[in-house]
A and B are shown apart, each in its own frame.
Chain A
Amino acid sequence: MNLLHYTLHLADNALIIGHRNSEWCGHGPILEQDIAISNIALDYIGQARNFYQYAAELTGNGATEDSLAYLRDAIDFKNCLLTEVPNGDWAQTTLRQFFFSAYQYFLYEQLQNSSNQQLAAIAEKALKEVTYHLRWSSEWVIRLGDGTEESKQRTLRAIDELWSFTGELFTPADYEQQAVTEGYGVDLSQIRENWYKKVTAVFEEATLPLPKENVWMQTGGKTGVHTEHLGFILADMQFLQRAYPGAEW
């Protein structure tokens, strides 16, 4: 059960942030960047599928990647709150991507050594993608932080909006603690420092002030207590599967 929850947590993270990024497709500020963010969305859908396929295997009873993505309600989704916050402007989207990619980078780096071969293999493959996501999003945070006065103000606003969602990344749910005990999960306390170092370095280059580390942080996503946004994401995403139960697409 723990392994299943842990896998679903990884899958849901990828699906929800991928879904959010895909909302940009056709609406990006620069054509090349429209392609880049759609590409990142696509990478995420791929990662989500890999994790869901494994989760479906663990679930049995005819579960599939699609039944897991399309037929669970918000209470069963285990993604971090950060992944579901609305895109906002380009500053908010790229900063969300940076916070999350930095987390995923260190997470997958460890996870590729997991005692669970499936998880290790998925992480190893995904790490290549995440390395690019991290570089791309770091560059945007730097560019916008150190660009114009307006881009700086927008980035500061985005930091204000998103910072309180970063604590949850490193607050383990029971299934994550269990995963560490059983040897296939990543100890979040160990990657936290690297994450903070990376954020510090990028913010410094971006001439952005570093927010305080020990402020009140929002949590709940990992255990199914989400923001109001997730319900709408799922209403949108699951519409066809819910309206036409059992149909093949």
Chain B
Amino acid sequence: MTTATPAITDTVHETPVRLRGYRAADMPLLTGSWLPGELLGLPDPGRPPFADLASVPPPAADRPGDELYVLPGGAFVRFTEVDWVHRRARLETGFTTEAAAAHAPGLLTAALDRARGTLGLRRVHGWVTPGRPGTEEVLRAAGLAREAEVPHALWLDGRPVGRQIWGMCSDD
């Protein structure tokens, strides 16, 4: 993260987002400059040029627990570590461009609706690396809350940095 990172609330689009299932042609959406495993995987303009891009695997027969959706041309939504017994999953997203990142609030809302409605999940959680201005506002607006702060959870910019766990539980 750099100080030049824009606040996502500066460019937010309020239009509703419609997710659809992943198709093979969406493969380019699965690789980008976001931090790995991030709940709100916004593009990181401060990423070192030699650093590997983050990526998530496409659906495969040997990973039946993953659910992958896309915002066509702009972002992906992945539910992983899905546990149908405990009705929970870890959510991660990735936006390919800053323009796509403007849809972050709508995409989060659509993702959480998908988790509760289509997938029948009770709990969704994910990793958040502090530093991007406006991130907390977007997460709270979607109904997520900060639940834990794990020190030294990610190697970033030459040092270990803390990461937060954000999540939500649906009462049912």
Does B associate with A? no
Residues of A within 8 A of B (CB): none
Residues of B with Cβ closer than 8 Å to A? none
